[in-house]
Amino acid sequence: MPKNKETLIFNNGLAECQEALEYKSSGACEKAIELLEKIITKIGKEGNSLEKIHIMGIIQKNLGIIYMERDDIRKALYYFKRALLNFETVLEKAPTTTGIYKEQVSIFNKMATLYHILQEEDKAFKCRDKAMIYYKKFKLLRSI
């Protein structure tokens, strides 16, 4: 896929994600979820570029946050895990993308909170440990 089309997919995905978050901010969470899931379906058909994988991770992270705020812990964890997989794929191919490390830290901290609520303390501690690992990688990259 040509680079300019990949960039267009990423930028359009970000714009649509922003629109969904505006729905969320105004209290229309169902509309936000519907739009984010529609974006995933649409972008899912667009090949496997890094830009696509990155935007999918961002969308999945935002779905996780919405479900977390709605106390739907299982769905939140599902989307957070999907986002982490996508962000890991981006890091494998572009390991100096510092923004991804910050995303990983944020997601692992949110997951730790959710596991704590579920009283799954072992998983909560593992998520906190992973958050710290990504935070250290982020700090190391920023100091180089």
Average pLDDT over all residues of the chain: 89
Report whether 32 contacts 23 (CB < 8 A): yes
Could you report the per-residue pLDDT of 57-72, keeping only the tens digit for each? Answer: 999 999 999 999 999 9
Domain spanning 3-143: CATH 1.25.40.10? yes
- Asked whether the predicted pLDDT for residue 85 surpasses 90, the reply is yes
Q: Where are the domains of the chain?
A: 3-143
- Asked whether the predicted pLDDT for residue 89 surpasses 70, the reply is yes
**Angle between helix 50-69 and helix 98-117 axes, rounded to 10 deg:** 30
Helices (H), the chain: 3-25, 29-44, 50-69, 73-93, 98-117, 121-143
Q: In Å, how far from its chain's centre is CA 31?
A: 19
Q: What are the backbone angles phi and psi of residue 64, rounded to the nearest 5°?
A: -60, -40
Of 3-17, 68-82, 121-135, the range with the lowest mean pLDDT is: 3-17
- Asked whether the predicted pLDDT for residue 104 surpasses 90, the reply is yes
Q: What are the backbone angles phi and psi of residue 70, rounded to the nearest 5°?
A: -90, 5
How confident is the model at residue 2, as a pLDDT? 54
Could you report the per-residue pLDDT of 9-52, keeping only the tens digit for each? Answer: 667 777 887 888 888 888 888 889 999 998 888 887 777 788 88
Cα angle 30-36-38, degrees, rounded to a multiple of 5:
100
79-83 mean pLDDT: 97
How confident is the model at residue 69, as a pLDDT? 93
Question: What are the structure tokens assigned to 10, written together?
Answer: 């990423």
**Angle between helix 98-117 and helix 73-93 axes, rounded to 10 deg:** 160
